[in-house]
Amino acid sequence: MNMKLLQFEMHGDERGNLIALEQYTDIPFEMKRIYYIFDTLSDVRRGFHAHKELKQLIICIKGSCKIFLDDGYEKEIVELNSCAEGLYIYSPIWREMFDFSDDAVLIVIASGYYEEKDYIRNYDEFLDYLEGE
Ligand code: TYD
């Protein structure tokens, strides 16, 4: 599947931990937007879309959650539970987020501004889009 789990360098010492992410070094694209998802109820499933062009790096900086990924051929569930790990999605992949822990905070770094026309929110349209690519 066209996604990668990236590992970030931890700068830890007796005072605690620190992770720094730099554009192009750790974030593999020019970033335009950051948003975060928090206070999500554990029985909530969200996402249910794919993006045509947008690249995203998804980091669960606190708690944990699962992400169901489907590229039209393969399906996979990735658990994010470490702030030193980021899920990099760079091609049209259907995603659904679920199983949020109470304290889960998901930070998403995106390559583009919020644009509804980049979203595919219907699964059958997603499969049609892949056919046409
Ligand atoms: P939504 O796309 O439903 O989130 P998810 O894919 O995680 O289920 O977004 C929720 C609301 O937030 C919706 O009204 C659109 C708005 N929104 C923005 O205004 N800017 C953004 O960058 C994002 C991601 C969402």
CB of 90 within 8 A of CB of 28?
Answer: yes
Q: Dump pLDDT digits (tens) for 4-13.
A: 999 999 998 9
- Active site annotation includes 49: yes
Pocket around ligand 1: residues whose beta carbon is below 6 Å from it? 33, 35, 37, 46-47, 49, 114
Alpha-carbon distances, residue 15 vs 21, 25, 63 (angstroms): 20, 25, 21
pLDDT reading at 133 higher than 90: no
Q: Shortest CA distance to 63 belongs to which of 108, 103, 8, 106?
A: 103
pLDDT tens track for 79-103:
999 999 999 999 999 999 999 999 9
- Ligand 1 centre to CA of 37 (Å) is 9
Residue 21 C-beta-side C-alpha neighbours within 13 Å: 21
